[in-house]
Amino acid sequence: MKKDDLIRVQNVSKSFRKVLALSDFSLSVSSGAIFSLLGPNGAGKTTLMKILLGLVGSDSGSVTIFDLPVSSPLSRRSVRYLPENVTFPSWATPAILFRQLERIRHESSAEEFRLRCTELECMDLMKRPVGKMSRGQRQRVALSLVTAGKPELVLLDEPSSGLDPGGRILVRNLIRNLASEGATVLINSHLLGEVERVCDTATFISRGRLIAEGELDSLSRKTGLAYIETDNAGRMILYLEAMGYSCRTESKGIVAELEDASAFPHLTRSVLDTGIRFTGINQMRESLEDVFLRIMDKDAERGTDIVS
Amino acid sequence: MRNGGPILFLNSIEQLLRRKIVLTAVIATVAFLGLYWWGVSAASSADLSMGHADADMAVAMLGPEDAALAAILTAGPLAATLVTALIIVIGSTMLPEEIGQGRMPFWLSLPQTRLKVYLSIGLAPLAVSYALSLILFGGIFAITSIYFPFTARNIPFVLVSMLAWLTVMWAAVMLLSLVVKKIASMLIVFFLASVASLFGGLYEIMQLFPGDAPKALETITHTIIYVFPADRGYRGVIYGLIPADAVITENLAFFGVTASVPSIHLVYAFIWSLVLLSIGYWRFRRMDF
């Protein structure tokens, strides 16, 4: 645990009757990060998020936000939370909802709200009752309402849920903007592609335990594939295949298969030997989905070992 | 930290006022008062001794206060049924709907204590029911006194009794809505209110004829009066509202409908409600959302 940790979770356990949701779970999140909670369904991600907000009480351990126990409402004064399935009253318009929230939070953030609505392209929905909006529109409005003001910590449970690809891009931009404004963003999502594009660090949870955490780059391994950017892909493929590499064209270059992940320097030399001009060569890394599956498989094996 | 409770309370009131059940209750109230007006105005033009050539002494003694008493005793139970149904329905659905619609985690994630959220949302059904009750009984009083001028016994007592009556049902239904399903909480409180009303009448009769009732019935009646004291409040409303100078009041006491309610019974009803409310909050505080 570092001194500037914004969230500190220490040895937290939580059971729902006989189901263990979190087991001796510890975690720390430093300020300014875009942080994701990843894991299969029922892993304990939402429970952890709710414990952080005091919505669910832990059976043991301690949880603090801004050095305050989560049982204190003061710990939530700069926190914003968007639950996964929130249904605002169907008659309420975003303008009404915002006014109510503004008064409860005792802050004047009309300007920021307008900015968020502009970012999420929902300015034209201000006077439309929530009941007459599509799911995606409701989600964008909810995000605008939640993130308006100057939050220091934003907890988003499945923020891209129900959004079309355009909406997802808007949400990604919003999250980046929040982080650039100094907010720490904690995301719980199953859309790994979205998480990969926006998050700095990830925590993997399985069966209520923390099984891996770190920066996304450090979690993903180098693969047995390399990407070579060249304008002369056809000739390059001929040369490399003659040298024994299996290749295919992809977007503006070639993907070459390596014998193993350590064979990348050898490929680099081979590419140089062809004498064909290329603008870049990189060893490809695992996607977050690959990382997720690898870590979960490993955890499942460990679980099997424990059982056996 | 800013107290956001009043805003949440007003928000809950607004939400309630937009519900069809409340709109229906408002329409029913207006219709009820309209019919009552029509009935009372028609009755006021009738001659009480008409058809009694030998004018019965008892009838001859009746005045407008007695007609007012009869009108109030006829309309009171109907109005009470309407208000009871409303508070039971909206009281049993308020918190469960906020939880079911996923709004409760949202409210609780705001920098407010659970107690403020619980009371702000929970008090809304009581406030709406009290307002509707004031309109109904206030309307009954106003219409009656236009056609049969009378002086009510104790209007401030009516206001306090009304609050005691509604608070008991509200506290019970709020607690039950956190423990059992909505429908079950409605049925349980409706059943309790009905039983309390029945035994409340028996209690009054027993007060007039002490020692005449079987011991077991007396014990059951007293127990029910204390287990669910809603009826005491309702009787307080009627007692405070009826004319002070009606001749037939004493005669009607036999039916257990015009007796006074000791203030201590109302105090007990408030304390009882507070206990139930505290148990409800204890349950709410321990709930995971």
The pLDDT value given to residue B56: 61
| DSSP secondary structure code for residue A241 in this structure | H
Element (H, E) at A118: helix A110-119
Of the ranges A193-202, B31-40, B235-244, the best mean pLDDT one: B31-40
Nearest CA in chain A to B4: A104
Q: Which tens digit of pLDDT belongs to each residue from B39-88?
A: 999 888 876 555 555 556 656 667 788 889 889 999 999 999 999 999 99
Nearest CA in chain B to A92: B15
Element (H, E) at A47: helix A45-52
Span A11-33, mean pLDDT?
89
Element (H, E) at A97: helix A94-105
Interchain proximity A57–B113, CB inside 8 Å = no
Token output for B58: 């008892």
Token output for A303: 């679980």
Interchain proximity B103–A87, CB inside 8 Å = yes
Q: Rounded to a whole number, what is the distance in Å from the CA of B225 to chain A's nearest CA?
A: 38
Interchain proximity B18–A89, CB inside 8 Å = yes
d(CA A152, CA B269): 46
Residues in chain A within 8 Å Cβ distance of B105? 50, 53, 55, 81, 83, 86
The pLDDT value given to residue A129: 93
Torsion of CA B3, B5, B11, B16, to 10 degrees: -170
Q: Which tens digit of pLDDT belongs to each residue from B223-233?
A: 888 899 999 99
Percent of chain A with pLDDT over 70: 97
The pLDDT value given to residue B3: 67
Q: Mutate which of B1, B10, B11, B284 to test chain A, going by most A C-beta atoms within 10 A? A: B11
Q: How does the average pLDDT of chain B come out, rounded?
A: 88
d(CA A199, CA A220): 13
Q: Rounded to a whole number, what is the distance in Å from the CA of B280 to chain A's nearest CA?
A: 17
CA–CA distances in Å: residue A16 to residues A42, A44, A82: 12, 11, 23
Measured between CB atoms, does B51 come within 8 Å of chain A?
Answer: no
Interchain proximity B2–A86, CB inside 8 Å = no
| DSSP secondary structure code for residue A125 in this structure | G
Q: Which tens digit of pLDDT belongs to each residue from A222-270?
A: 888 899 999 888 888 999 999 888 999 887 889 999 888 788 889 999 9
Q: Rounded to a whole number, what is the distance in Å from the CA of B179 to chain A's nearest CA?
A: 17
Interchain proximity B7–A100, CB inside 8 Å = yes
Lowest mean pLDDT among A77-91, A124-138, B109-123: A77-91
Span B83-95, mean pLDDT?
94
Residue A40 scores a pLDDT above 80: yes
- At residue B108, what are phi and psi to the nearest 5 degrees? -75, -20
d(CA A144, CA A102): 12
Residues in chain B within 8 Å Cβ distance of A84? 102
Please identify, in words, the CATH class of the domain defined by A222-285: alpha beta
ipTM: 0.78
Residue A68 scores a pLDDT above 80: yes
Pick B7's closest partner by Cβ from A87, A88, A104.
A104
Question: In this structure, which CATH number among 3.30.60.50, 3.40.50.12780, 3.40.50.300, 3.40.190.150 belongs to the domain A5-218?
Answer: 3.40.50.300
DSSP sequence for B118-159: HHHHHHHHHHHHHHHHHHHHHHHHHHHHHHS---BS-HHHHH
CA–CA distances in Å: residue B207 to residues A42, B156, B201, B223: 62, 24, 10, 15
Percent of chain B with pLDDT over 90: 57
The pLDDT value given to residue A308: 33
d(CA B218, CA B226): 13
Measured between CB atoms, does B288 come within 8 Å of chain A?
Answer: yes
End-to-end CA distance of chain A: 34
Q: Mutate which of A50, A52, A55 to test chain B, going by most B C-beta atoms within 10 A? A: A55
Q: Rounded to a whole number, what is the distance in Å from the CA of B288 to chain A's nearest CA?
A: 4
Element (H, E) at B115: helix B114-147
Nearest CA in chain B to A96: B11
Q: How does the average pLDDT of chain A come out, rounded?
A: 88
Task: Tell me which residue has tokens 């409760």.
Answer: B104
Interchain proximity B102–A86, CB inside 8 Å = yes
The pLDDT value given to residue B5: 79
Beta-bridge partner residues of A34: A185
Span A118-128, mean pLDDT?
92
Q: Rounded to a whole number, what is the distance in Å from the CA of A100 to chain B's nearest CA?
A: 7
Residue A166 scores a pLDDT above 70: yes
Q: Which tens digit of pLDDT belongs to each residue from B101-124?
A: 888 998 999 888 999 999 999 999
Of the ranges A59-68, A77-86, B210-219, the best mean pLDDT one: A59-68
Interchain proximity B109–A79, CB inside 8 Å = yes
Going from N- to C-terminal start, the domains of chain A cover 5-218, 222-285
Residues in chain A within 8 Å Cβ distance of B1? 73-74, 77
Q: Rounded to a whole number, what is the distance in Å from the CA of A54 to chain B's nearest CA?
A: 8
Pick B18's closest partner by Cβ from A79, A83, A91.
A91
Q: Which residue has the higher pLDDT, A308 or A126?
A: A126
Q: Which of B231, B240, B242, B241 is nearest to B265 (CA)?
A: B231
Q: How confident is the model at residue A306 (pLDDT cuts 50, 70, 90)?
A: very low
Residues in chain B within 8 Å Cβ distance of A56? 288-289
d(CA A60, CA B89): 38
The pLDDT value given to residue B48: 57
Residue A218 scores a pLDDT above 90: no
Q: Rounded to a whole number, what is the distance in Å from the CA of B97 to chain A's nearest CA?
A: 10
The pLDDT value given to residue A212: 87
Q: Rounded to a whole number, what is the distance in Å from the CA of B152 to chain A's nearest CA?
A: 42
Nearest CA in chain B to A154: B109
Residue A304 scores a pLDDT above 60: no
CA–CA distances in Å: residue A269 to residues A260, A295, B138: 16, 33, 95
The pLDDT value given to residue B208: 75
Residues 6+ apart with CB under 8 A from B277: B122, B171, B174, B175
Measured between CB atoms, does B109 come within 8 Å of chain A?
Answer: yes
B94-132 burial code (b ≥16 CB/10 A, e <16): bbebbbeeebbbbbbbbbbbbebbbbbbbbbbbbbbbeb
